[in-house]
Structure 1
Amino acid sequence: MDTASGVSDREPRQERSRATRARLLDAAVGCLSERGAAGTTVGAVAERAGVSRGAAQHHFPTREDLLLAALRHIVDSRGTDLRRRVESVPGGPGRTEAVVQMVVDAFSGTGFNAALQLWAGAASDPALRERVIPLEEQVGREVHRAVVDLLGADESVPGTREAVQATLDLARGLGLANLLTDDGARRRHIVRQWARMLDQALAAGD
């Protein structure tokens, strides 16, 4: 067998496999967002992705494997988006508001909706819950650290860590409120006011 030909044959197969996996993950996120964890089956995801059930099970042998991979996909996508957004955060007086808005935006959209549905499913599924919690803790740490760095906050100062964590909790709450109705106008006012309060809290600590 020609070695070069064998390598060239494998590369297209690997590319097709990666493309199929990506379609399945995107489909799983969409299913979670629209149907919830209960409606996100391997068959439903395979149909949405336009692949056979067998192909889906080749990549994700069990439903739990698929759900956890979908959550990891959400985490990775959120991390990529945060890194991109960080580069555009302005300096000066509007920086805190821009950082708060970035965090609020991170807890919105299809990915957040899908993660929320998975959290709800994991709450009544101990095995799934055990695997979901470490990923969610990772996300929390990454976003928290990004906010601390962007604000130049000193967490050795009493109250600073709590102020940053309250920002993340606020963002989750606003994301939850936005699931049923478009809460955009109210959210903008809250973001602006929270940024003022956060500035005051950080200045008091300094």
Structure 2
Amino acid sequence: MTGTTRDLQRARTRETLLNATIRCLVNYGYADTTTQRIQDEAGVSRGALLHHFGSKSELLVAAIHYIADMRMAHVTDVIGDLGDDPNGLRRMVEAVREAMAGPLFQAALELWTASRTNEELRAALVPAERRLGAAVREVFNAHVGIDDPQQARVAFESLMALVRGLEVTRNLRDDRTVDDLVLQDWIARVEQLRDAP
């Protein structure tokens, strides 16, 4: 086996383990995500897991960065082609909403909660989330159209709080109509800020 083939196989195994970690966090929560469960979910040997990640903490730290990178790639893909689209604000809001929803966000949320009392996780999580937040804010600022920096900051923070809060409480509601109405209200308010002299 050549070095390149071996490198590709290592990269695939690493990615398989990280994706299995995400599934375990979503399906079992942080407390019940064990290295044995991850190994079983990934379909790899104990040796393969330990070759890539020497401990559960090391694996979860890598998962933090992997999840942040995947969420950012999603936002970039959706927003990258907005240009001067008259519906750009709405599309940007939907992209941010999608990035703060679904399995990747649910796995991140499990890690956020665990990092409250686990300093090693917190030390990895804070920079990864700040990097993600800065990138999302940059995209947001490019498409929100609010000239006043303070108003733009409040609009950004309120959007992030809204979409995160809606996702956190999603399992308490059967009807997502209210979620859509809340975001439509946010968009209408931001459009008023954009149109204000």
Same fold (TM over 0.5): yes
In the alignment, does 2:178 pair up with 1:186?
yes
In the alignment, does 2:137 pair up with 1:144?
yes
Give the distance between the partners of 1:181 and 1:28, measured in 2 at CA.
Answer: 27
Q: Write out aligned runs for 1:33-44 (5 A).
A: 33-44=26-37
SS at match of 2:37: helix
SS at match of 1:173: helix
Q: Write out aligned runs for 1:77-116 (5 A).
A: 77-89=70-82, 91-116=84-109
Q: CA RMSD in A?
A: 1.9
Give the distance between the partners of 1:46 and 1:155, measured in 2 at CA.
Answer: 50
Structure 2 partner of 1:5: none
Which amino acid in structure 1 is aligned with residue 7 of structure 2? Q
Give the distance between the partners of 1:57 and 1:155, measured in 2 at CA.
Answer: 51
In the alignment, does 2:176 pair up with 1:197?
no
In the alignment, does 2:22 pair up with 1:29?
yes
Which amino acid in structure 2 is aligned with residue 150 of structure 1? H
**CA deviations over 1:11-34 (Å, ceiling 9, x no partner):** 221111111111001000111111
In the alignment, does 2:48 pair up with 1:55?
yes
Q: How many residues align?
A: 197
CA distance change for structure 1 residues 52 and 203 in 2, over 3 Å: closer, same or farther?
A: same
Max Rg structure: 1
Give the distance between the partners of 1:180 and 1:34, measured in 2 at CA.
Answer: 17
Structure 2 partner of 1:177: 169
The offset of 1:66, in angstroms, is: 0.6
Gaps of 5+ in 2: none
> Would the aligned equivalents of 1:144 and 1:168 in 2 still touch at CA under 8 Å?
no
Which amino acid in structure 1 is aligned with residue 98 of structure 2? D
Matched residues, percent identical? 30
CA distance change for structure 1 residues 87 and 131 in 2, over 3 Å: closer, same or farther?
A: closer
The offset of 1:72, in angstroms, is: 1.0
Structure 2 partner of 1:18: 11
CA distance change for structure 1 residues 130 and 179 in 2, over 3 Å: closer, same or farther?
A: farther
Structure 2 partner of 1:125: 118
SS at match of 2:2: helix
The offset of 1:127, in angstroms, is: 2.7
Give the distance between the partners of 1:119 and 1:67, measured in 2 at CA.
Answer: 11
The offset of 1:149, in angstroms, is: 1.0
SS at match of 1:124: coil
> Would the aligned equivalents of 1:27 and 1:45 in 2 still touch at CA under 8 Å?
yes
Give the distance between the partners of 1:151 and 1:69, measured in 2 at CA.
Answer: 32
The offset of 1:160, in angstroms, is: 2.1
> Would the aligned equivalents of 2:92 and 2:143 in 1 still touch at CA under 8 Å?
yes
> Would the aligned equivalents of 1:163 and 1:201 in 2 still touch at CA under 8 Å?
no
In the alignment, does 2:136 pair up with 1:168?
no
> Would the aligned equivalents of 1:96 and 1:151 in 2 still touch at CA under 8 Å?
yes
